[in-house]
């Protein structure tokens, strides 16, 4: 059988691979999109963020894809695409639990950080089965050749491209592509076949995952005796994080009553029994973990799993390279650290934006070696940045005061990037390092914070509170040049709304005078 010749082959039809295929097809590139399974299908990675929505809006504007603009806020999504299930995400909610003790709300155990000023312009949780299927359909409508149920068994580098060998429904399949993009997920197909060496040892974060979808999950406020001080948004309409020593649980509510929930467990002695049980019986392990968290046990007491609870002994992966002469991998294939700060969707969309731009010289163009190397360098720096930030947070999971301070680095980085992008102050947002990976202040701050928070977490006895106070003070001082949101302010009691007055007061950080910023504020409020 003669091999088919294609300009671009994309392996993996999740939202990122499908979106890239759609962009290339719309620009006249001969692209084939290959999928191992079939849609609709379950996928993890459900919580979007403002930086993800900005990437959607840029792609919508650049390529004329109106649906991407509609999917960039909860209000537009519900109005224009009610058939695609989603959830309202107003921000990030964190609760600290002591194992075997009921939850008690207080500023020492609760933090809310708003990501948007109101529900109509809020972020979303993506029901990935619906959203990914939509992206595939749009890729096909744009002219991409989509083939599902494809099993690839070999990739061979050739002087003028890559030869892919496999089968579809038992029929032999062979494709010679000038360029291949691997969007197949953790340490994907090309990593195994080229091969690309693993860099897993570079990652400082280690966690296992229990997860499922449930109905009938109650709100925490309804099962806790003590009252909650009103926050900047309803607590549960957010990415909700339940923190405890050595791990954390997430809860993402969808508008139709579905809840995506799971637990990330570090490899520490207190969780070994649960992890060992999870390898044999994930549902029993989930129930066992909830018994250690009495308030969560009440939340999930009447809940029913709508799909079997699953277990993954390790969620991290990392490759050494993101590009070659005739290939590239998207961010989620290159590396994944942990879902703690919802980095996945945004980083994936930015990766799509970058690779799409590399093909913009014309239908027969091929990304140059220099530009591919720049893409590789940036993904490596960003993977390091994400890992250091999350590893520092993991070291503080048992000490909420330290965790809350460490999290301010994340919120300073994303709010700085978001506001500058919304105001038009970033020349090329797609190539601006994610989470400040190329920022002179933030890059060094995240690296130094990992060392400092670990030292503070190790303090004992009389040094314990002094170490925490010292770390808080260091964070407050360090993020000041990038702190547009009034973060790390003890007077706020760990409740952080969207505060335009605070932003105006900090206008000099943006290089603007007060009147200039005041005139530009509608770009932020309107989203």
Of 313 and 360, the one with more pLDDT? 313
User: Cα-Cα-Cα-Cα dihedral of 237, 239, 242, 243, to 10°?
Assistant: -150
Q: Could you tell me the CA-to-CA distances from 64 to 23, 69, 352, 391, 514 in Å, in that order?
A: 10, 9, 16, 39, 34
Mind giving me the DSSP string for 30-64? -EEEE-SS-SS------B--HHHHHHHHHHHHHHT
Q: Rounded to an integer, what distance in angstroms lies between the CA atom of residue 121 and that of residue 77? A: 10
* Per-residue pLDDT reduced to its tens digit, 151-185: 999 999 999 999 999 999 989 999 999 999 999 99
What is the pLDDT confidence band of residue 263, given thresholds at 50, 70 and 90?
very high
Q: Rounded to an integer, what distance in angstroms lies between the CA atom of residue 83 and that of residue 62? A: 25
What is the pLDDT confidence band of residue 369, given thresholds at 50, 70 and 90?
confident
Confidence check: pLDDT of 279 > 90:
yes
Confidence check: pLDDT of 289 > 70:
yes
| Distance from the Cα of residue 133 to its chain's centroid | 19
Q: Rounded to an integer, what distance in angstroms lies between the CA atom of residue 136 and that of residue 117? A: 32
Q: Rounded to an integer, what distance in angstroms lies between the CA atom of residue 31 and that of residue 182? A: 13
Phi/psi at 476 (nearest 5 deg)? -60, -45
Note whether 191 and 182 are within 8 A (CB): yes
pLDDT of residue 119: 95
* Intra-chain end-to-end CA distance of the chain, in Å: 52
pLDDT of residue 191: 87
Q: Rounded to an integer, what distance in angstroms lies between the CA atom of residue 319 and that of residue 398? A: 30
* Per-residue pLDDT reduced to its tens digit, 73-93: 999 999 999 999 999 999 999
Angle between helices 50-63 and 15-26 (to 10 degrees): 20
Which helix (H) or strand (E) element contains residue 295?
helix 294-299
Nearest to 244 by CA among 198, 289, 303, 277: 289
Q: Which tokens go with 448?
A: 């130094």
Its pTM surpasses 0.85: yes
Q: Which tokens go with 456?
A: 């503070």
Note whether 412 and 483 are within 8 A (CB): yes
Q: Which tokens go with 51?
A: 């930086």
Q: Which tokens go with 180?
A: 């291949």
400: three-class secondary structure by DSSP: helix
pLDDT of residue 423: 95
Question: Which residues partner with 155 through β-bridges?
Answer: 164
Q: Which tokens go with 327?
A: 């290939």
Confidence check: pLDDT of 131 > 90:
yes
Q: What is the mean pLDDT of residues 91-107?
A: 97
pLDDT of residue 107: 96
pLDDT of residue 365: 63
The per-type count for the chain, helices as H runs and strands as E runs, is 17, 21
Q: Which tokens go with 129?
A: 């089965």
pLDDT mean across residues, the chain: 95
pLDDT of residue 364: 57
Residue matched to tokens 């109106």: 66
3-state secondary structure 60-114: HHHHCCHHHHHCCCHHHHHHHCCCCCEEEECEEEEEECCCCCCCCCCCCCEEEEE
Phi/psi at 217 (nearest 5 deg)? -80, 130
User: Could you give the maximum distance between any two Cα atoms of the chain, in Å?
Assistant: 75
Which helix (H) or strand (E) element contains residue 277?
helix 272-280
Confidence check: pLDDT of 526 > 90:
no
* Per-residue pLDDT reduced to its tens digit, 183-239: 999 978 888 888 899 999 999 999 999 999 999 999 999 999 999 999 999 999 999
pLDDT of residue 194: 86
Q: Rounded to an integer, what distance in angstroms lies between the CA atom of residue 430 and that of residue 385? A: 17
Phi/psi at 448 (nearest 5 deg)? -70, -35
Note whether 160 and 7 are within 8 A (CB): no
Confidence check: pLDDT of 335 > 70:
yes
Nearest to 192 by CA among 333, 374, 377: 333
Nearest to 313 by CA among 345, 277, 289, 364: 277
pLDDT of residue 361: 65
Q: Which tokens go with 86?
A: 């989603």
* Per-residue pLDDT reduced to its tens digit, 7-20: 999 999 999 999 99
Q: Which tokens go with 291?
A: 């018994």
Which range is least confidently modeled, 44-48, 229-233, 499-503? 499-503
């Amino acid at each position: 059988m003669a091999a088919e010749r294609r300009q671009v082959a994309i392996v993996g039809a999740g939202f990122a691979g499908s979106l890239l295929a759609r962009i290339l097809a719309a620009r006249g590139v001969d692209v084939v999109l290959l999928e191992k399974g079939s849609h609709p299908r379950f996928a993890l990675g459900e919580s979007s963020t403002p930086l993800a929505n900005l990437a959607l809006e840029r792609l919508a504007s650049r390529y004329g894809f109106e649906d991407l603009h509609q999917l960039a806020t909860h209000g537009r999504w519900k109005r224009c695409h009610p058939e695609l299930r989603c959830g309202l995400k107003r921000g990030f909610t964190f609760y600290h639990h002591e194992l075997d003790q009921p939850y008690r709300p207080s500023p020492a155990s609760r933090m809310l950080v708003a990501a948007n000023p109101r529900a109509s312009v809020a972020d979303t949780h993506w029901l990935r089965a619906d959203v990914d299927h939509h992206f595939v359909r749009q890729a096909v409508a744009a002219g991409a050749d989509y083939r599902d149920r494809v099993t690839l068994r070999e990739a061979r580098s050739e002087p003028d491209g890559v030869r892919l060998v496999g089968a579809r429904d038992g029929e032999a399949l062979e494709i010679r592509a000038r360029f291949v993009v691997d969007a197949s997920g953790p340490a994907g197909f090309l990593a195994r076949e080229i091969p690309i060496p693993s860099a897993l040892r570079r990652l400082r974060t280690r966690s296992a995952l229990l997860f499922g979808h449930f109905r009938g999950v109650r709100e925490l406020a309804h099962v806790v005796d003590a009252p909650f001080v009103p926050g900047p948004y309803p607590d549960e309409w957010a990415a909700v994080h339940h923190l405890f020593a050595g791990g954390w649980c997430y809860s993402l509510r969808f508008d139709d009553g579905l809840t995506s929930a799971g637990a990330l467990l570090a490899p520490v002695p207190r969780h070994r029994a649960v992890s060992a049980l999870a390898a044999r019986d994930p549902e029993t392990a989930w129930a066992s973990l909830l018994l250690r968290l009495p308030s969560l046990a009440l939340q999930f007491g009447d809940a029913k799993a709508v799909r079997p609870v699953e277990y993954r002994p390790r969620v991290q992966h990392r490759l050494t390279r993101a590009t070659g002469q005739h290939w590239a991998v998207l961010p989620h294939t290159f590396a994944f650290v942990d879902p703690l700060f919802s980095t996945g969707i945004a980083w994936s969309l930015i990766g799509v934006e970058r690779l799409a731009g590399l093909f913009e010289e014309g239908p027969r163009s091929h990304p140059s070696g220099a530009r591919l190397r720049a893409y590789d360098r940036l993904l490596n720096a960003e993977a390091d940045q994400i890992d250091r930030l999350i590893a520092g947070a993991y070291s503080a999971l048992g000490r909420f005061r330290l965790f809350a301070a460490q999290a301010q680095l994340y919120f300073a980085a994303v709010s700085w990037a978001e506001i500058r992008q919304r105001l038009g102050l970033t020349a090329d947002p797609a190539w601006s390092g994610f989470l400040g990976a190329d920022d002179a202040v933030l890059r060094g701050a995240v690296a130094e914070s990992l060392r400092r928070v670990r030292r503070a977490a190790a303090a004992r006895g009389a040094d314990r509170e002094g170490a925490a106070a010292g770390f808080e003070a260091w964070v407050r001082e360090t993020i000041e040049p990038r702190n547009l949101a009034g973060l790390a302010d003890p007077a706020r009691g760990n409740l952080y709304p969207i505060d335009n007055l605070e932003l105006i007061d900090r206008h000099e950080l943006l290089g603007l005078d007060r009147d200039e910023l005041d005139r530009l504020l509608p770009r932020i409020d309107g989203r």
